[in-house]
Structure 1
């Protein structure tokens, strides 16, 4: 049986504005150089005229977090957290060339971008509400159990690869120097998400091709076409 990435029908029902972009790629290595300046420039231009909390992409995620019972100023989507750090430091620390370029693209579009090492994902990966038995590995090495009903990225083995939807990824499938098989996911809920996510996905595909000479597969998912073959 083939493995897939998808959002649950419940999430599509509850969040009909959701747009998800996915990119699947093999052949990633840690020994390349990536260009992030153009993405940094776009982020700087947007932040010069508006705070990150006023951007429509961030405002949509704040509303979504509130609807899930989360305080938006306590739990922020990943792109808002990156924008806040970028505003203070005018750059982000280098982690791995793939993470560096995906973080820069996330800044430019103000849209959360998650990157998963598929070697550590068992079977299919679904964004769904937790049943309470899943396990989440923190970057500090401790194991947590997401709360029942919390939106998580869950694999077939009951491992949670992200908590609170776009708030925080797990150390289990974090990109390492040895990572090669990768899934990249971008999610948005604002009014121009269709156009913006498609453009973001195209930027990711272009950046991957330029740095690694690879040919990724990509798609923009919808409630009518919610599944992507891994």
Structure 2
């Protein structure tokens, strides 16, 4: 059965324009970054620069909407940037985008090219369904600090993605936990594309279709399903 994803009423009331799309994939073959995945990132950076012109990433209307959403739950958007804005800023530097692994490179390229937050989770590491909620502040978030595993807790009211074991991503899409991240051993995954107005449904679907196409090229034979959760 497909993984269940739900968005709480509290989140919908706070940010009523939120929509998301899921690309669920089984039978992936991941591995180290290669020329193909690197080319995806280079092309994404080129498309980003063309899209922005002389503007900074946060001046794009979609990124401006995400900054407003972050402010709505108490985050400081100039210090705590959504994942798409953070990646876009890196893409425009001399260092460019990091090369992580085939799957992460693929979804990072879509995030940068379309200026949309995209996350990838290892389906086999998710416990139960995934939920987007406003945190109580008691939920565990397992992360790594100073090379050692540690447990943090979100702030009360913070928007987080979580499963039955705890928080999988803090501040909506700001920092993913290592427990469910995609590694070179991952074979089943879920990719989450998140949008706000003024991004249209067609633009969201276009980004999802492009990600599905990239994944098929990187991992021929994988079973790919694209859907919009209710």
The alpha carbon displacement at 1:3 in A equals 4.6
Query: Take 2:55 and 2:150, find their aligned partners in 1: how far apart are those partners?
Result: 37
Query: Take 2:81 and 2:224, find their aligned partners in 1: how far apart are those partners?
Result: 29
Query: Take 1:131 and 1:207, find their aligned partners in 2: how far apart are those partners?
Result: 38
Decide whether aligned partners of structure 1 residues 16 and 93 sit closer, same or farther in structure 2, where only a CA change above 3 A counts: same
Aligned pair partner of 1:50 in 51, 55, 61: 55
Aligned pair partner of 1:131 in 116, 129, 136: 136
Aligned pair partner of 1:193 in 184, 190, 200: 200
Query: Take 1:182 and 1:2, find their aligned partners in 2: how far apart are those partners?
Result: 11
The DSSP-based 3-state class of the residue aligned with 1:88 is coil
Q: Which residue in the other structure is 1:142 paired with?
A: 150
The alpha carbon displacement at 1:2 in A equals 7.3
Q: Which residue in the other structure is 1:206 paired with?
A: 213
Q: Which residue in the other structure is 1:79 paired with?
A: 84
Q: Which residue in the other structure is 2:106 paired with?
A: 101
Q: Which residue in the other structure is 1:181 paired with?
A: 188
Query: Take 2:45 and 2:22, find their aligned partners in 1: how far apart are those partners?
Result: 22
Unaligned runs of 5+ in 1: none
Q: CA RMSD in A?
A: 1.8
For the 8 Å contact 1:79–1:110, the answer to whether it is kept is yes
The alpha carbon displacement at 1:24 in A equals 0.5
Greater CA deviation, 89-98 or 201-210?
Answer: 89-98
For the 8 Å contact 1:197–1:220, the answer to whether it is kept is no
Q: Which residue in the other structure is 1:217 paired with?
A: 225
For the 8 Å contact 1:19–1:193, the answer to whether it is kept is no
The alpha carbon displacement at 1:58 in A equals 0.6
Task: Give the TM-score taking structure 1 as reference length.
Answer: 0.89
Task: Give the TM-score taking structure 2 as reference length.
Answer: 0.89
Query: Take 2:90 and 2:45, find their aligned partners in 1: how far apart are those partners?
Result: 12
Aligned pair partner of 2:70 in 65, 71, 77: 65
Query: Take 2:114 and 2:226, find their aligned partners in 1: how far apart are those partners?
Result: 18
